Structures are given as structure tokens and as C-alpha cells.
Structure 1
Amino acid sequence: MESKVSEGGLNVTLTIRLLMHGKEVGSIIGKKGETVKKMREESGARINISEGNCPERIVTITGPTDAIFKAFAMIAYKFEEDIINSMSNSPATSKPPVTLRLVVPASQCGSLIGKGGSKIKEIRESTGAQVQVAGDMLPNSTERAVTISGTPDAIIQCVKQICVVMLESPPKGATIPYRPKPASTPVIFAGGQVRADPLAASTANLSLLLQPPPLPAYTIQGQYAIPHPDQLTKLHQLAMQQTPFPPLGQTNPAFPGLDVSPPASTHELTIPNDLIGCIIGRQGTKINEIRQMSGAQIKIANATEGSSERQITITGTPANISLAQYLINARLTSEVTGMGAL
């Protein structure tokens, strides 16, 4: 199977997702969309670019394996061309490698790494490309970034081997795809002054604090990292300091009569019906734990006929919402990977 895939002769349809910065996306699209149109026509692959005013965009490539390899080759050579053009105006003498970031379901990353890192080492040695699998999942998803660096030829060989792994080890359970967040919108004040949205800035700072911490704060189980209880306690304390629902009559002691708690906002997400039970728990025990730990108000919509998903509405400060999402994702990950309750 591996040799057939490596020769590009296996007619299996795959979908590969790439994470790109705005400048990279612009290079792929080209003037009036000419570059991406040419890539679609010559490779035979479907190439879709996510919408939205985001610093990062998702580029989805779908098609038979040989079409995907052609599309990747065209993207890698286009990026190398961009590097060469940028170096003509630069004093740098050594050419930096081409770098691509794949977005891969976390449940497939164990197969990609291999026992004791054996598979990823084999891919590095046989292709000459550098391959790094992120330790943490991308925000609000069950996917991880896989970064590939090297010459275009090394990257193409590397992608072929990754496709083999993905075909041999399909994702387990439901995958929550990563969706890049839009850039914060400015607030226009009287007089035409433009300032960054302070709530968005607050959210950005809090999201940095609430990113899953480095590995020492985790216990490793297989290829998955489980947060220590004391780490969740720190996140809980941060959220409780900023709860938007203070006891009645409570005000800031420094400014009597003034309530300066951050304003409440609302975030919505959808969860597959077959996973909603692990979020609710027996007689609502799990969802109540998440409410208490995060300080957020969480409402789960009733199941609607014909829909395979349920909507969850989270209300609170950015810290409350981030922690609630963190805890919900932890529950989903434990269910999908079969690791039991966190």
C-alpha cells in the first residue's frame, strides 16, 4: 500500500487541511485568483480557502492522492519562489526552508509519531524534511498542527508518507475542527478616533493565560497530556476573580457603588449528539461541575428533529468562557480517546 501511495497511483480520496498566514494565502490566491485557479486545474484537486477577516486561514485540499500530491508540489514550489524573490532585496545569504503547517486530528497524531517517536524519526530520515507535531491541540478543537520544513521535494515526499499514515490510521471518534478566530474589530469613538476593542484585547490576553500550559504541568498517558488538578485550580481562580455574576449588592471597595467586573459576553458552539452525554454526565453532574469551576452560565439546547448536533451557549467574562471551553474540550478529548473522566 505504501509503495502505491508513494507513486501517486492509489485512487483514494483524501482531505488535507493546511493552516496559513494571510500573506501565504495571498500568494496562493494570486492576482484575481489566477494562481489558485491554475493550481486547481493542473492538479485536479479541490482547493478551498476559509472565509473571514482572520490572521490565519484554513486551506482545504481534497481529491485522489495523486491530485493532492500535485497540489502540494505547486504550493511548495510557489512558497520557494516567494522566498527567493524576498531574498533578492535582503542581505541574507542562506535560503530559509519552505514551511507548511498541516492540521491533523489529535487521534491520528499518535500513529504519526509512532512508538517512542519511531515513525516520525523514520519520516524525517527518509525524506530529509523536518517534522514537528505540536504537543497541544489548537484552540477549541481536537486537532493539532504538524509543521513540515525543508526543500519542496522533501516536503512532497514527507506529505506522501503522512498520507500513508492517515490512510492506515483513520481518526477515532468525532473530530472538532479548528476554526481560526477573526481579527478584533476596532471601536470608532466620537471625533473619528480608532482604538482597538478593549474587550477583544482583554480576551486575547486571557486566552494566552488560558492556553494549555507546558508539558511539565501535565501527566502523560500514551501520547496524550492530561492537565494536573492544581493547574485547573489556577485557571478556576483566574475565572472566579473575573466572574460577571457577583453576589447581589457587591461592589468594588475602592469605588463604592461602582461595579467594575468585566461585561458578560456569549459564545456558542455545537457538539455532536453522540458526545453530548459525556458533557452532561449522569443526572447533570459533569455540566454542573463545569459551571461551578468556570463561573460561566451554560445552556444546552434541546435536541431538534433531523439534527445531529446540539447547541451549547456559554455566557460570562472572557475568562469564564475560555475556562468553560477548556473543560468541555477536556471532556470531549477524554471521551474520544477513551481515557475516562478528567
Structure 2
Amino acid sequence: MLSMPLSGGPGPAEESLWSLRPACREMESKVSEGGLNVTLTIRLLMHGKEVGSIIGKKGETVKKMREESGARINISEGNCPERIVTITGPTDAIFKAFAMIAYKFEEDITNSMSNSTATSKPPVTLRLVVPASQCGSLIGKGGSKIKEIRESTGAQVQVAGDMLPNSTERAVTISGTPDAIIQCVKQICVVMLESPPKGATIPYRPKPASTPVIFAGGQAYTIQGQYAIPHPDQLTKLHQLAMQQTPFTPLGQTTPAFPGLDASPPASTHELTIPNDLIGCIIGRQGTKINEIRQMSGAQIKIANATEGSSERQITITGTPANISLAQYLINARLTSEVTGMGAL
């Protein structure tokens, strides 16, 4: 997915963004005449920066989209790397909202290219979340329907083969010019109205970026609700390695020698620089977070004092490669959680 910069509401030069192109208005009148102007709900999957662009400064952009389109636009909670944007309303209101989102993303791409050496302009990309039971109708027999949509709109359309985690929904990715995307959404809406979902739909709910991690019996667990769920193998293995190879011995103890076994790997040092405004989420209240990271990773972690005139702080991690890897993983998880939560209203 494209990474969109955060943006505020429209300035004088952007007014055209909020006025629907003639092609869009013409399409809406045709849809209304065709008797398809019924209430519908469309769900979009977006990354944090894309959501930040839609929300705008102090929520101005999304407020303007709601007012001008007449659609209800709801955004899921903000502590996840991915967010669900739900658009509900009559089909003409939905198309207006999609037009505004598509043109906003195109503007973001244009702005990002002003600082880039790229010569070709990437397409606007949106991801819809569609019940899996409707995807067959969207693809059509032998792929006939999706081929027809691609050819008639000029947009690229891809239906994911697998369902999104813990749901009965699939991602449908649409790429192209804003006008092609709106034409494509119109046709997808027609298919969804003609082929309602079969059976119960379990909606996709993005997981928070960082959940508490507990280590017990050499296994890592994350807390979800009232249950401890085994964490992915990679983190468990990192923790096991870190604990097995930690070279630091508590004071007053000696490491017993085992004939025929090599000593633990020598300690090495790794340095990171973290922006001053993010160092607080690494340290935590009264040092609770940094102490957790030290305990889980088995690494020594030192945070340098702030230096005058510098916007960054240096973190020095000392330990075995496994200690350092786990410490870096846990620090990055804290940073990701903090940064992706910034787009929240």
C-alpha cells in the first residue's frame, strides 16, 4: 500500500479536490436513474498515515467529507497499524465520499512526488473489505465479471485468495486514476446489491500494534481479552535464545563450568537513535517500559541524557546477538504502537 503523508484540510489551491468531476456527477445521475440509489455500507482497510490524511488537521478533512457527501464516515479505534473506515449512505452519497477520498489520495501522491526522483506517478490504491460469500459473484464464472469490470473502468482489481485473519471477509484491492476507481466502486456496489452475503459474516477487526507479552516456561504469550494466546514462534525463539545465551551473571554468583561446552557468545553493542518526542514511550512511567524490555530481552540498555540542541537521544544495547535482536524488536513494537496511534481523532 502507498504511504500517505499526514495532511490538513483543503487550502485555496485545493478547492477543486472537493468539487466532484463532471464524470463523477454524470455517473451518479445514471445510477440514481437506474434505481440503485439505496442505502449501502462499504468498508475500507487503511494504514495509519492514510487515515491521518482522511482525518486531517483537528478532524477538518473528514468533517468536510461527511458534510459534502452526505455519507456517514466512521473510523475504527486508533491503536492499530490498520484501521477500518466505514462509509454508509445512499449510493450517490457513497460515490461522493469515494470521490473525495480518491482525489485526496491523488493529491497526497502528487505532493510526495515533489520530494522524490520518481518520474512515473503511482496509481491511487484503495482496499475494500468484502464478505467472502460475495467475492464469487464479484469474480464471476471463470473470472468473467472481474475481467469485465477491469476492462470497462480501466482500474486494476484484485480479490485476495485468503480471508482476513479471524474473519469471513476478503480484501479487494482497487488501483487506478480516481475516476477509474469511482467507476469501479459503482460496479462493485451493483454486484453487492444483486448478490447479498450468504450466512453470517464475521467482520475483520484489525489487531492493536502492540499487545502485552508474557514469557512463561520458555513460551511467549500475548494477552487478548481474558486469555493468554501463544505468540508467534519468532519472538518465542528469540526469547529462548536470549535467556540461554545471556552473558550477564547476577552479582555474587559464578557461572558453573561445563567441560566440553563452549562459553556463551561474547557480548556486543548496538546503538540506536530515537527522536526526543518518542523517548517517553520507550522509558514509560517511572521507567516501567524500559525495565520490562531489559527483563524480557536480557540485554543491558542505556539511554543517554538529552544534549542541548539535539532532537534525538542515543540508546546503547549490550548483550548477545539474541539479546540485542529481542531488545530491538520490543523497542520497535513500542515505537510502532506510539506512531500509528497518532492518527486518532
How far residue 23 of structure 1 moved from its aligned partner, in angstroms, is 0.3
Range 249-258 or range 44-53, more displaced: 249-258
Q: Does the 8 Å CA contact 1:104/1:143 hold for their aligned counterparts?
A: yes
Contact 1:142 1:176 in 2 (8 A): yes
Contact 1:300/1:313 (8 A) holds in 2: yes
Asked if structure 1 preserves the Cα contact closer than 8 Å seen for 2:41 and 2:86, the reply is: yes
Structure 1 contact 173–336 (Cα < 8 Å) conserved: no
Tell me, in whole angstroms, the C-alpha distance in 1 between the residues paired with 2:238 and 2:318: 17
* CA-to-aligned-CA distance 1:161-206 (integer Å, 9 cap, x gap): 000000000000000000000011578999999xxxxxxxxxxxxx
Residues 1:38 and 1:293: Cα distance change in structure 2 (over 3 Å): closer
| Farther-moved stretch of structure 1 (277-286 vs 289-298) | 277-286
* Superposed CA offset, 1:190-247 (max 9, x none): 9999xxxxxxxxxxxxxxxxxxxxxxxx999999999999999999999999999999
Q: CA separation of 1:42/1:291 partners in 2, compared to 1, >3 Å: closer, same or farther?
A: same
Once the two structures are superposed, what CA deviation does each residue of 1:301-339 show, in whole Å capped at 9, x if it has no partner?
999999999999999999999999999999999999999
* Per-residue CA distance 1:83-126 (angstroms, 9 max, x = gap): 00000011111000000000000000000000000000000000
> Matches of 2:216 and 2:83 in 1, distance apart?
33
- Three-state SS of the structure 2 residue aligned to 1:153 is helix
Aligned match of 1:297 in 296, 300, 313? Answer: 300
Q: Give distance in 1, aligned partners of 2:161 and 2:150.
A: 18
In the alignment, is the contact (CA less than 8 A) between 2:213 and 2:223 conserved in 1? no
Could you say if the C-alpha distance between residues 33 and 238 of structure 1 is closer, same or farther in structure 2, counting changes exceeding 3 Å? same
- Which of 77, 80, 83 is the aligned partner of 1:57? 83
Task: Report deviation, 1:60.
Answer: 0.0
2:130 and 2:170 in contact (8 A); partners too: yes
Deviation at 1:11, TM superposition (A): 2.6
Q: Distance in 1 between matches of 2:86 and 2:223?
A: 31
Q: For residues 278 and 38 of structure 1, do their structure 2 counterparts lie closer, same or farther at Cα, with a shift above 3 Å needed?
A: closer
- Of 27-36 and 325-334, deviating more is 325-334
Please say if residues 210 and 337 of structure 2, whose CA atoms lie closer than 8 Å, have aligned partners that are also in contact.
no
Kept in 2, the 8 Å contact 1:107–1:337? The answer is no
CA distance in 2, matches of 1:39, 1:332: 31
Query: How has the CA–CA distance of structure 1 residues 314 and 3 changed in structure 2, closer, same or farther, with 3 Å as cutoff?
Result: farther
The yes-or-no answer on 1:180 pairing with 2:183 is no
Q: Which stretch shifts more, 106-115 or 301-310?
A: 301-310
Q: CA deviation at 1:44?
A: 0.2
Contact in 1 for aligned 2:299/2:323 (Cα 8 Å)? yes
Number of residues of Structure 1 aligned to a counterpart in Structure 2 = 318
Deviation at 1:248?
A: 34
Q: 1:226 to 1:73 in 2, by over 3 A?
A: farther
C-alpha distance 328-16 of structure 1, shift in aligned 2 (>3 A): farther
Distance 1:270 1:45, change over 3 A: farther
Q: Distance in 1 between matches of 2:32 and 2:270?
A: 44
Q: Distance between the aligned counterparts of 1:53 and 1:80, measured in 2?
A: 26
> Alignment partner of 1:298: what SS?
strand
Partners of 2:218 and 2:236 within 8 A in 1: no
- Cα 1:104–1:151, aligned 2, differ >3 Å: closer, same or farther? same
Gaps of 5+ in 1: 194-217
- Residue 151 (structure 1) aligned with residue 151 (structure 2): no
SS at match of 2:110: helix
Measured in 2, the distance between the counterparts of 1:287 and 1:120 equals 51
Structure of higher CA gyration radius: 2
Shift of the 220–37 alpha-carbon distance from structure 1 to 2, 3 Å rule, reads closer
Tell me how far 1:131 sits from its aligned partner: 0.0
Q: Please report the TM-score for the alignment, with normalisation by the length of structure 2.
A: 0.54
Cα distance, 1:304–1:125 mapped onto 2, change above 3 Å: farther
Q: Which stretch shows the higher mean deviation, 241-250 or 179-188?
A: 241-250
Please tell me whether the aligned partners of residues 143 and 178 of structure 1 are also in contact (alpha carbons under 8 angstroms).
yes
Distance verdict in 2 for CA 1:34–1:66, change over 3 Å: same
Distance 1:89 1:278 in 2: 30
Distance in 1 (CA, whole Å) between partners of 2:340 and 2:41 is 22
Q: What's the Cα RMSD here?
A: 15.6
The residue aligned with 1:8 is 34
CA contact (8 A) 1:109 1:133 kept: yes
Q: Measured at CA, do residues 156 and 256 of structure 1 come closer, stay the same or move farther in structure 2, by a change above 3 Å?
A: farther
What is the distance in 2 between the residues matched to 1:318 and 1:175?
Answer: 45
Does the 8 Å contact 2:299/2:327 carry over to 1?
Answer: yes
Contact in 2 for aligned 1:148/1:155 (Cα 8 Å): yes
1:318 alignment counterpart: 321
Structure 1 length normalisation: TM-score? 0.55
Identity, in percent, stands at: 98
- Unaligned 5+ runs, structure 2: 1-26
Q: Could you tell me how far 1:10 is from its partner in structure 2?
A: 3.1
Highest relative contact order (Cα 8 Å, sep 6+), 1 or 2? 2
Structure 1 pair 116–60 and aligned structure 2 pair: CA distance change class (3 A) = same
Q: Sort the Cα spacing of 1:37 and 1:94 in 2 relative to 1 into closer, same or farther, 3 A.
A: same
Match of 1:102 in 2: 128
Q: How many angstroms apart in 2 are the aligned matches of 1:30 and 1:340?
A: 9
Alignment CA distance shift 1:298-1:130 (3 Å):
farther
